[in-house]
Amino acid sequence: MEFGTIEREIYVEASPEIVFEVVSSPDHLKQWWPDDARYDPTPGSVGEIVFGDRAAGGAVVPFTVIDARPPRTFSFRWTHPAGEVAAEGNSLLVTFELTPSGGGTLLKMTETGFREMSWEVAVLEQQYQEHVTGWDFYLPRLAPYVATLKVRP
Amino acid sequence: MSTAVVEKVDDDLWSAIGDPTRRRMLDLLLIEGDGTATTLSQQMPVTRQAVAKHLGVLDRVGLVRATPAGREKRYRVDDAQLARAVAQLSSVGSAWDARLRRIKRIAEAIQHTQQD
């Protein structure tokens, strides 16, 4: 059983240079994940990503760039407590690896740190589901939970 | 109303499985089918007392079920509850699936624009 790592691979019909830009630049990140993103895509840069409206109780989450080697590797840590230096044990590490393949790019993503941190973080991850799929995601989960509650003393 | 209860159960379950010692115990129980605090402590670098305490945590969230075995209790993994915990991590994975699909769409749109 390996609970601690998520690995995904997807083929993109675009050059590694373009894919690198999309996974690393804050302007693009906002298009595929948080509602706002502020950081320099350079190693060591500390910034933040925001889910929801910053002024209306949105979640502001620390974001630290670990590695940026265009067009091959981009990695960052997130979910570390504000003010703490991101390191193993206090944050999740997301790594994108890009490999040229047949005129496009094979994009591999790994997210690690669940085992070292706490599984509460996995729940945290779920809270940052994008708005579009948020309800699709939560509604089917409620029924099984309610069913379980019934058999619990 | 029920949402609050559901979240509470959720947190307890994740906290229970969040501890490396408890995950190791679950692994051992799955491999061997069942075990007691004594048999588990013989295979781990922790005391019988510590193992018994961890088993109590796992029992409270329903990840293991106990039956009396002499002066001890014999524990088995509750498959349904373990499956729920695993499913929750898979849902983190499906969040990434959606993100990666959007990355693909954006990158391919840019590539397309540059070729025109």
**ipTM of the assembly?**
0.76
Residue boundaries of the structural domains of chain B = 2-115
Instruction: For residue A129, list chain B residues with Cβ-Cβ distance below 8 A.
Output: 95
Q: Which residue of B has its CA nearest to A106?
A: B104
Question: How far apart are alpha carbons A68 and A21 in whole angstroms?
Answer: 11
Domain B2-115 has CATH 2.60.40.1220: no
Instruction: For residue B6, list chain A residues with Cβ-Cβ distance below 8 A.
Output: 142, 145-146, 149
Give per-residue pLDDT as tens, A17-57: 999 999 999 999 998 888 899 999 999 999 999 888 888 87
Q: Which residue of B has its CA nearest to A10?
A: B100
Q: Which residue of B has its CA nearest to A134?
A: B95
Lookup: tokens for A9: 């691979």
Q: In this predicted structure, what is the pLDDT of residue A54?
A: 84
H or E stretch at A99:
strand A92-101
A31–B102 C-beta distance less than 8 A: yes
> Residue A2: pLDDT above 60?
no
Sequence letter at residue B58: L
Which residues touch B67 (CB under 8 Å, ≥6 apart)?
B73, B74, B76
Residue with the bigger pLDDT between A49 and B88: it is A49
Q: In this predicted structure, what is the pLDDT of residue B89?
A: 63
Give per-residue pLDDT as tens, A62-77: 999 999 999 999 999 9
A125 pLDDT band (50/70/90 cuts)? low
* Nearest alpha-carbon partner for A25 in A86, A100, A33: A33
Give per-residue pLDDT as tens, B10-49: 567 767 776 778 888 988 888 888 999 999 999 999 999 9
Give chain A's domains with CATH numbers.
5-151 (3.30.530.20)
The pLDDT mean for chain B works out to 82
